[in-house]
Amino acid sequence: MTARMLRVAEVTPLSPLVTRFRFECPEGGTLPLFSGGAHVVVEMPDGATLRRNAYSLISDPLDGSGYEIAVRREDAGRGGSRFMHTHVAVGDLLRVGAPVNLFALDLRAKKHVLIAGGIGITPFLAQLRQLTRLQMPFELHYCARSRAEAAGLSLLPDLPQVHAHISDEGDRLDIGAVLAGQPLGTHVYTCGPEGLIEAVAGTATRLNWPKAALHSEAFLSPPPGAAFKVTLARSGITITVGPHQSLLEAMEEAQVDAPWLCRGGACGQCETAVLSCKGRIEHHDHWLSDAEKAAQQKIMPCVSRFQGEDLTLDR
Amino acid sequence: MTMRFNDETFRDDYTFHNSPAAIRRFPFPFDQDSYMYSVNIEPHRRGAAGSVFQHRFDVDEHYVAEMRDREITLRDDPLRCQSLPHMELAGWDFLELVMVSKAEDYPELFELHRDGDRWHWINRPLGIEQRFIFLDATSLPCGPMEYITRQTQGDHALLDQREGNLWMDAGMVTSQADWSLDFDIGMNFFEWHAPVPKAHELGVFQRALKFLLSLQQGAPVRRLNWTMTVNPRLDTSPENYHKWGPEKRTLTAGNVGAKQYLRVELQTLWRMPRSNAVAFPIRCYLLALEDLVTVPKWGRRLHRVLRDLPDELAEYKGFAVNRPLIVDYLSRFDDCAPTSAGIFPDD
Amino acid sequence: MPGTEFSPSIASRPVYAGLVAQGAMPAIMLADAEGAGALIDLAARDPAVMERAHVIFIPAGTPHGARLRALGARIYHESPSYAACLERFRKALADAHMGTTLYLAGTEGLIGQATAEALAAGLPAGAIQSEHRGSIARRMQCVHCKGITEGVTTDPFTCSHCGLTLFVRDHYSRRLGAFQGVCVDAETPGVLPPVQEIRP
Ligand code: FES
């Protein structure tokens, strides 16, 4: 993993809950460029725990002078976003990984339709710049509850292809109307809450859109839950995963070498074989198929949890 | 150190030759006395000074002659270089990767000056000087991928990543081991590997694809592949098979050492920034058997590998008809002594 | 009569899964010869599939046109050849929107060419259905001269453009809608294997 220490250059509140952070090279060099939809993993040394959260890059993909992310404070979450909001100030040094894109534009598309819900606007902010630069046809729909909460509004360009739907003002996105009549070769990208992603997928399927034209990113943060014990057979240890910790984090804390890329149940990198399972795996990922989930022979430690007597992994 | 470039040909009179230094640095692909497919991918780290792994893109004594040979092939058949429309951005990414790497690694041969999007490129060995605007294809004499790959040894494929797969959507392919870009362009990872026997059943491609999909910027990887070629011919394309095919049958016990070459591909894979595509340069090295056996370890080992190779693989790699001659020749250099691990010469 | 059963092959060889009705949604249907049977069977399973369908049929000497026409498609058109209806097919694709299904039925040559055309127009692969019926003749590209020979039924065969004798590979290019033909006597000119009928 080619991570580097970056300096926090700006901290800008965008709404009561969302703050933008800008990172730059401490020595003033340029950072690797990226493609719209890419994320970076930010490491947060929170006391004794090292948290790693993935955030979409929102700055211009072709501008290597800095990286920008927008972080929504989730008080119910495991503390990563809270740490960013309360502990991080201009001048701090944080380790930031290389950009990885699991939500890339399909550059063959004749048109791109981007649908964002709430903080799900973040990957599209970089994609918009890419689309504008490449002069590709697109339209963007941004859904938020209220204008005050719509942190993305101030970051969106004033273009006729950009539409905000504020539900408090009675403007709800009509997905069917957006999808109807799009030209052949249109691709649809959705980022936001599960409900929005499912609604878009459901409408698209009803309208006969093939799956390959649909893209989504749920940006799962590992859900909290009850603590549980896991035996790691190859390492010969049993560890306890705390309520606000993911299984992956617990393995890392125990110095067990475990692969990962997205830390959000999307990329498949952390897939681990289950050697024995007496109980129920709570699969939270988007990687395993329903059949694989039911079989309980694989687990994605970055987001999934367990309830029961015994879970032994090949790790 | 200034590099000397050979005046040599890869067709007709075949004056290609390796200097003693080039023989020593040949990337011998076998690290043990037998061979089977595997996902033999490792980080493309800088290797020892003088080795083919020292720089990101190896430039050697064959550079100028190889580029001349490419030009001949392209004049004959411009379809050896193609890029589907959505791959232009990847072409720019690749142009940048090569120019930046070469200018840093071989400052005496290449120079790159950048002032925003205004770029100035100097390629001394080929006598090229070009000012152009980055991301403006009209400011170059041809597309960005074609431009840079006319100046970079090896074949090059650019792979688009989507739908959990890699798609061969652009390439410059003039020194291939018997596959056609014009035919394979647009195929996904499994499709373009479809004709390879055995590896599918072994799950090699599933594992390799999974690995490559998560390839990260700044962390390129490499692997070696190999085949056998009669005469030092770069263009062993299917397109011209009816032209070079007969040469394969001219091998005799008397000329096998001079005419039979071990052909090694140094394949590297790079995640590129703006396009999220993967660049896949396939660099070809040729070594005559009579030169190869000057390294005793290689002579012994190659004999054992080729003698014991499953028929299906010899068939696929296209040297089954010549295998008896080759193995017979190499057996003279195998004294049955044990060989050391790894690919490098013993001394 | 169900679709043709092909023997298992390599990953690049196309598989024709058979037509599955998507109901009364916009559709383009293109069939040649015995492919008519696949559309007739499709409509029997779900008559609504014809409501918004634009059907183009190339009879190639078969008598199925009248039955197809009777299915009540929104538009029904008969064409003497693929070449003759190509511009019409292109216009239908250009006018189509996402949600349109392309149903292809008949020979591999027709399915392959129409698929390539539709993909180039932006129709996603997932919106293309196909069912093989009738002749198993192949559409072959000569890797040497790049010429395409239609209706190849033997292995090896003679390239209709450059005259080389080519063997029939299973390696298939979706972009070209053709299998690859490679010189069979390249290494030993004039030494030819016996000619065989190709099998499914
Ligand atoms: S790290 Fe990506 S799925 Fe777990």
Q: Which domains does chain A have, with CATH numbers?
A: 3-101 (2.40.30.10), 111-217 (3.40.50.80), 228-313 (3.10.20.30)
**Could you tell me which chain B residue has the CA closest to the CA of A212?**
B163
**B85 touching C (Cβ < 8 Å):** no
CB contact A110 to C (< 8 Å): yes
Q: Which atom of ligand 1 is nearest to the CA of A260?
A: 1
Contact C90, C58 (CB under 8 A): no
Residue C1 is predicted with a pLDDT of 54
**Residue C113 token pair:** 């060419």
Is pLDDT above 70 for A78?
A: no
Sequence-separated (6 or more) residues with CB below 8 Å from residue B182: B79, B80, B82, B239, C146
Whether residues A104 and B216 touch (CB distance < 8 A) is answered with no
pLDDT of A76 > 90? The answer is no
CATH class of C27-132: alpha beta
- Rounded to 10°, the helix C82-95/C108-120 angle is 30
CB burial readout C14-53, b (16+ within 10 A) else e: bebeebebbeebbbbbbbbbbbbbbbbbbbeeeeebbebb
More confident residue, A163 or A223: A163
Q: What is the pTM of this model?
A: 0.93
Report the gap between the CA of B143 and the closest CA in chain C (Å).
21
* Ligand 1 atom index nearest CA of A303: 4
Rounded CA separation B24/B5 (Å): 17
Whole-number average pLDDT of chain B: 94
B70-94 pLDDT, tens digit per residue, is 999 999 999 999 999 999 999 999 9
- Cross-chain Cβ contact B216/A107 below 8 Å: no
Report the gap between the CA of A149 and the closest CA in chain B (Å): 31
In this prediction, residue B236 has a pLDDT band, given cuts at 50, 70 and 90, of very high
Residue A71 has pLDDT above 90, yes or no: yes
Residue from the list C25, C122, C125 with its beta carbon closest to the beta carbon of A110: C122
Residue B151, SS3? Answer: coil
Interchain pair B183, C143: CB under 8 A: yes
Buried b or exposed e, range A55-92, using 16+ CB within 10 angstroms: bbbbbbbbebebbbbbbbbeeebbbbbbbbbeebeeee
Please say whether the dihedral angle defined by the alpha carbons of residues B287, B291, B297 and B303, taken in this order, is positive or negative. positive
Could you list the active site residues of B?
223
A118-138 pLDDT, tens per residue? 999 999 999 999 999 999 999
Q: Is 60 exceeded by the pLDDT of residue A96?
A: yes
One-character DSSP codes across B227-259: EEEESS-S-B-STTHHHHGGGGGG--TTTHHHH
* DSSP classification of residue A68: E
> Where in chain C are all domains bearing CATH 3.40.50.80?
27-132
Residue-level pLDDT at B35 = 86
% of chain B exceeding 90 in pLDDT: 83
Task: State residue A212's pLDDT score.
Answer: 94
Atom of ligand 1 nearest to the CA of A262: 2
> What average pLDDT does chain A have?
92
A77, A71 contact by CB (below 8 A) = no
**Residue ranges in chain C modelled with pLDDT below 70:** 1-2
Q: How far is the CA of C82 from the centre of ligand 1 (A)?
A: 48
**Residue B1: pLDDT above 60?**
no
Position B330 scores a pLDDT of 97
Higher-scoring residue by pLDDT: A223, A23: A23
Ligand 1 center to residue A259 CA distance, Å? 8
Instruction: For residues B195-218, give the mean pLDDT.
Output: 82
Q: Of B181-190, B295-304, C7-16, C60-69, which range is least confident?
A: C7-16
Residues A110, A135 contacting (CB under 8 angstroms)? no
Q: What is the predicted pLDDT for the residue at B50?
A: 92
| Mean pLDDT of all residues in A287-308 | 93
CB contact under 8 A, B239 and C143: yes
pLDDT at B27 over 90: yes
Given the CA of residue A259, which atom of ligand 1 is nearest to it?
1
With a cut of 70, say whether residue B105 has pLDDT above it.
Answer: yes
Which residue has a Cα nearest atom 3 of ligand 1? A265
CA distance A8 to A19: 13
The pLDDT-based confidence of B342 (bands split at 50, 70, 90) is: confident
pLDDT score, position C134: 94
Contact B187 C180 (CB under 8 A): no
**For the ranges A15-19, A172-176, B199-203, C140-144, which has the lowest average pLDDT?**
B199-203
% of chain A at pLDDT higher than 90: 78
pLDDT greater at residue B273 or residue A222: B273
Instruction: Give the per-residue pLDDT at C101.
Output: 97
Ligand 1 centroid from CA A247, angstroms: 11
CA distance A3 to chain B (A): 10
What SS3 class is residue A201?
A: helix
Quote ipTM for the complex: 0.91
Mutation pick for ligand 1 pocket among A53, A286, A302 (CB with most ligand atoms within 8 Å): A302
Question: Which amino acid, C67?
Answer: R
B278 alpha carbon to ligand 1 midpoint, in Å?
A: 21
Q: Is C187 on the interface with B (CB under 8 A)?
A: yes
- Is there an atom of ligand 1 within 6 Å of A267 CB? yes
Strands (E), A25-156: 38-46, 49-56, 67-72, 93-96, 100-101, 111-117, 138-144
CA distance B232 to chain A (A): 39
CA distances, B264 to each of B80, B286, B312, C132 (Å): 20, 6, 19, 42
Residue A306 beta carbon below 6 angstroms from any ligand 1 atom: no
Q: CA nearest B327: which of B300, B301, B306, B298?
A: B306
* Residue A132 contacts B, CB cutoff 8 Å: no
- Predicted confidence at residue A110, as pLDDT, reads 95
Among C22, C98, C123, C175, the residue to mutate for chain A (most A Cβ within 10 A): C98
Q: Is the pLDDT score of A46 beyond 90?
A: no
Residues in chain C within 8 Å Cβ distance of A208:
22, 25-26, 98-101, 127
For residues B208-213, average pLDDT: 88
Q: Mean per-residue pLDDT for A297-301?
A: 95
First and final CA of chain A: distance in angstroms?
Answer: 19
Nearest residue in B to C164, CA atom: B242
Least Cα separation, residue A269 to chain B (angstroms)? 8
Residues of chain A in contact with residue C26, where contact means CB-CB under 8 angstroms, are 208
Sheet with C101-106, edge to edge strand ranges: C75-78, C53-58, C27-32, C101-106, C128-132
Whole-number pLDDT of residue A219:
65
CA pair distance C15, C32, nearest whole angstrom: 18
Cross-chain Cβ contact A267/B214 below 8 Å: yes
Place of tokens 């074609």: B146
